[in-house]
Amino acid sequence: MRERLLREGLQAQQIENFFEATRLTRDLREQIRERSHRLQWKVLDALQGRGLSEVHLLGSTGYGYGDTGRELLDEIYADLFDCESALVRLQFVSGTHAIACGLFGNLRPGQEMVSLSGEPYDTLSTVIGQKSDSPGSLKEWGVSYRQLDLRDDRLDLEAIQTFLRPETALVFLQRSRGYAWRSSLTVEQLGEAIRRARKVCPHAVIMVDNCYGELVEEQEPTHVGADLVAGSLIKNLGGTLAATGGYLAGTTRAVAAASYRLTAPGIGAEQGASLGFSRTMLQGLFQAPVVVGQALEGACWAACFLELEGFEVAPRWDGPRTDIVQAIRLGSPEAQAAFCKGVQSSGPVDSKATPESWVQPGYRDPILMAGGTFIAGSSLEMSADCPVRPPYIAYLQGGISLGHVQLGVVRGLVSLKNLVK
């Protein structure tokens, strides 16, 4: 290993830090592994409990009527989230699309949406209508929006009961840090916010953006009172095998309302061909706990190694984690570009490519994204996203194995060193 690290370009002290990070994180990584094993059993119980068989893997075409595999997948997700209903579809083009269906399905013109976790993820700002040029947004549709900003990097729990109104129709919480230098929210924190919100608006739909957080903790937001959660299948629950898609899970009423926005009123969840993708969506779910566990081990190690190298990271290596995202403060767009080039070079696909920033649909700033992945944009396989704006942070996500994350971080660091030269 030392010889390989020398060939990669690490100096002697950096190699010592590599092994020191491995030693320091050993116990914590073992805890992560044990939790992933328990979650693997939980997923297996859901698959076996619903009687998964070969016939469910065949798929459908056209309208998708009578697609037993698609229907079984919905039931398995509902079991996994311990809720009444779920909607798992390849027709969701992204996590943002799934969330938008949840929002539009459960809000009406003249109603109010409130975020309790401050500024939402960039693409959701467009959905809500915080940008003046957001045609088709909730704002254009007549839905008002307010947000309760975080206080000292935490939910302002004390302010919830005075900030919310009894007539608030939808309460929104974002579990992950997104593209912000803040802590992700634990399920326990979400549960406390939900409990307080329910006292003020007992009839509101409480929705959680669950992207990047699935299977990181042993409970999900639906276990602590959320009416609706949403996410992407090219993140955690797809297990690096789902080629596209997203999901919603929660109460029967909230999921059904969202399904009418995905398809059409009167159709809802009854249509949507699976086109043979049921196999990889189900197999991906089966292996997701192990891959998520490896991504978390990699994030923990990366934080420790980079801290030893003098970088500011969030969370700290021994801090609480409730998503697979590791933030690294780099300080300049040049450093972002160098780090992303190193991560890209460690991918199995397009390893010779040089990432270039561009303003992607729904974003307000150019995004620099490294991702040499088999599934385009797959955060779980390992990627590094950098919104090119101060304070110039890289968001390292995923990793199918600890070893792959280590190689990505090593090459990112060497690329940064070459930038200094």
Buried b / exposed e across 38-68, counting CB within 10 Å, b at 16+?
A: ebbeebeebbeebebeeebbebbeeebeebe
What is the domain-level CATH number for residue 349? 3.90.1150.60
Q: How many domains are contained in the chain?
A: 2
pLDDT at 418: 85
Mean pLDDT, the chain, whole residue set: 96
Bridge partner residues of 151 (DSSP): 154
pLDDT tens for each residue of 111-125: 999 999 999 999 999
pLDDT at 362: 83
Bridge partner residues of 154 (DSSP): 151
pLDDT at 131: 73
Pair (136, 271) in one structural domain: yes
Confidence of residue 421 (pLDDT cuts 50, 70, 90): low
pLDDT tens for each residue of 293-327: 999 999 999 999 999 999 999 999 999 999 999 99
- Boundaries of domain holding 325: 2-40+289-420
DSSP tag of 237:
G
Pair (307, 185) in one structural domain: no
Pair (87, 224) in one structural domain: yes
Confidence of residue 99 (pLDDT cuts 50, 70, 90): very high
pLDDT tens for each residue of 147-200: 999 999 899 999 999 999 999 999 999 999 999 999 999 999 999 999 999 999
pTM above 0.85, yes or no: yes
Pair (122, 229) in one structural domain: yes
What is the domain-level CATH number for residue 236? 3.40.640.10
Structure tokens at 111: 């109603």
Residue where one domain finishes, among candidates 250, 284, 318: 284
What is the radius of gyration, based on Cα positions, of the chain?
21
pLDDT tens for each residue of 245-272: 999 999 999 999 999 999 999 999 999 9
Pair (232, 335) in one structural domain: no
Q: Is the pLDDT of residue 397 over 90?
A: yes
pLDDT at 420: 66
